[in-house]
Amino acid sequence: MKPDISTKYLGIELKSPIIVAPAGITETADRIALCAKYGAGAVVMKTMTDVELMRNSPTPRFRLLKKGKGLRNFVLYSYEQASLFNSDDYAAEIAKSRRETDIAIIASIACSTDESWQNTAKMMEDAGAHALEINLSCPHGPDMAVSMGIEKRMIDITELVTSAVNIPIVPKLPSQLTDPITVVKGIQKAGAKGVVIFNRLLGLDIDIEKQSPIMHGGFAGHGGYYSIHYPLRWIAELSPLLDIDISASGGVASGDDAVKYLLAGASTVQICTSVILNGYPVIEKINSQIIEYMEKHDLESISQFRGKVCNRILGLNDMDRRKSVRAEIDQEKCKSCGACFNACFYGAVTQDNGKYEVTSKCAGCGLCAEICDFDAISMLPLE
Ligand SMILES: Cc1cc2nc3c(=O)[nH]c(=O)nc-3n(C[C@H](O)[C@H](O)[C@H](O)COP(=O)(O)O)c2cc1C
Ligand code: SF4
Ligand code: SF4
């Protein structure tokens, strides 16, 4: 029997755990229809804001940094501002999507006053949104990323919005929090039904010839497939502590990455950069890769493996710290490039006339085996 990848998120049945994350790729009903066509379980629409200035993005607004150095190593550096729609047009777009697609439509808002948070949330509910993300983490937002007491404000905003509407509210958090556990427990208590972990970070790149910021001249969001590890850690830590759903966001390039988030306890997995760079068909590919994983492991449903990694994470006192391996160079495969010699700061690799060998100083750290491009180094058990 083909594995079933359907899942429940915020009490809503989704046919896939893959949600297309808010960005230009989810701005209009036409683009949302493409997400549905290629098998997304739901869509979070591009964030709408009440700050008019932020509805207009500069050009160009995308730069790929460090590209050409491998699939997982690039940085997508971008300054795409909020949805170009005002609240009326955004609500109309929600209603249009509800008419034209059958997947869950999650709206996303970022507001500047208490009143506006509540009124805008109500408008989106009335327009037919199945749920609402409150974007408490936009790296280009007016005040969210900078003010003191921000963590308390996140909880207060959650409370304000949950008291104004009946649809599920999902705060989207930034990764730069002093204490994510307290914040997430706070928003849970304030009535949130889920949480998105995490948004991207705000960064800077500099043109050293012009001695100025690149592209639009300011700070910019940055992310890429390398960015999966931090949210993965926090999801694994938070999911056993929460009663609400976690939607993972950050660094998903493949079905295997999505499986990692599910193993860490996420209910759904959001994808953004993958769709921006590869187009909407990547959704279908990621769904089939999740199915392949489930077939390989004889899994019929996502609930059979969701959160399975959480109680396998070892703490400080639980790890096996004995030295159990050492490196050995296969002389047949070695190309005498010297990379292991340069990298071994334990001084355990020697070289003599182009011949590289590992000595008894080897600390078993594993670095040389990772660095060798010729697969010439194995880590062998110590007798
Ligand atoms: C170009 C661009 C625009 C984005 N716009 C929004 C947005 O409007 N609202 C929001 O909550 N997140 C926004 N994000 C963040 C993404 O939704 C997502 O959380 C983040 O990119 C991490 O996921 P990824 O590694 O799959 O890209 C944007 C990201 C990018 C790259
Ligand atoms: S890195 Fe690999 S190929 Fe290069 S010297 Fe060491 S073992 Fe040989
Ligand atoms: S495993 Fe570590 S200590 Fe041993 S040779 Fe390789 S780099 Fe040096």
CA distance 382 to 191: 54
Give whole-number Cα distances, 255 to 9, 191, 252, 269, 273, in Å: 19, 31, 8, 10, 14
Sorted by where each begins, the domain ranges of the chain are: 7-312, 325-381
**CB distance 366 to ligand 3 below 6 Å:** yes
Q: What local confidence, expressed as pLDDT, does residue 213 receive? A: 97
CA distance 236 to 311: 9
CA distance 21 to 18: 9
CA of 63 to the centre of ligand 1 (A): 15
Q: Torsion-angle region of residue 316: left (phi > 0), alpha (psi -120 to 50) or beta?
A: alpha
CA distance 39 to 143: 36
Give the ligand whose atoms come closest to the C-alpha of residue 274: 1
CA distance 211 to 189: 47
Q: pTM for this one?
A: 0.95
Cα 349 from chain centroid (whole Å): 39
Ligand 2, CB within 6 Å, residue ranges: 329, 334-340, 356, 372, 374, 376-377
Any alpha helices (H) in 190-319, and if so which ranges? 229-238, 255-263, 273-278, 281-296
CA of 330 to the centre of ligand 1 (A): 45
CA distance 285 to 289: 6
**CB distance 329 to ligand 3 below 6 Å:** no
Inter-axis angle of helices 180-189 and 229-238, to 10 degrees?
A: 60
CATH code for the domain defined by 325-381: 3.30.70.20
pLDDT digit string (tens) for the chain, length 383 residues: 889 999 999 999 999 999 999 999 999 999 999 999 999 999 999 999 998 988 889 999 999 998 876 667 788 999 998 999 999 999 999 999 999 999 999 999 999 999 999 999 999 999 999 999 999 987 666 555 445 578 899 999 999 999 999 999 999 999 989 899 999 999 999 999 999 999 999 999 999 999 999 999 999 999 999 999 999 999 999 999 999 999 999 999 999 999 999 999 999 999 999 999 999 999 999 999 999 999 999 999 999 999 999 999 999 999 999 999 999 999 999 999 999 999 999 999 999 999 999 999 999 999 999 999 999 999 999 97
Q: What local confidence, expressed as pLDDT, does residue 148 receive? A: 59
Amino acid letter, residue 307? G
Could you tell me if 107 and 94 are in contact, meaning their C-beta atoms sit under 8 angstroms apart?
yes
Q: What local confidence, expressed as pLDDT, does residue 72 receive? A: 72
Q: What local confidence, expressed as pLDDT, does residue 383 receive? A: 77
Q: How would DSSP label each residue in 290-311? A: HHHHHHHTT--BGGGTTTTTGG
CA distance 379 to 228: 27
Report the atom number in ligand 1 closest to the C-alpha of 252.
Answer: 26
CATH of 7-312, one of 3.10.20.30, 3.20.20.70, 3.30.70.100, 3.30.70.580: 3.20.20.70
Q: What local confidence, expressed as pLDDT, does residue 145 receive? A: 45
CA distance 157 to 149: 12
CA distance 353 to 68: 34
Q: What local confidence, expressed as pLDDT, does residue 73 receive? A: 77
Give the ligand whose atoms come closest to the C-alpha of residue 230: 1
Report the atom number in ligand 2 closest to the C-alpha of 349.
Answer: 6
Q: Torsion-angle region of residue 381: left (phi > 0), alpha (psi -120 to 50) or beta?
A: beta
CA distance 51 to 113: 10
CA of 266 to the centre of ligand 1 (A): 18
**Of all helices (H) and strands (E), which one includes residue 269?**
strand 268-271
CA of 336 to the centre of ligand 2 (A): 5
CA of 46 to the centre of ligand 1 (A): 8
The conformation of residue 4, written as its DSSP 8-state character, comes to B
Q: How crowded is residue 313: how many other Cβ atoms within 10 Å of its Cβ?
A: 12
Q: Which of 349, 352, 374, 379 to mutate to test the pocket of ligand 2 (most atoms within 8 A of CB)?
A: 374
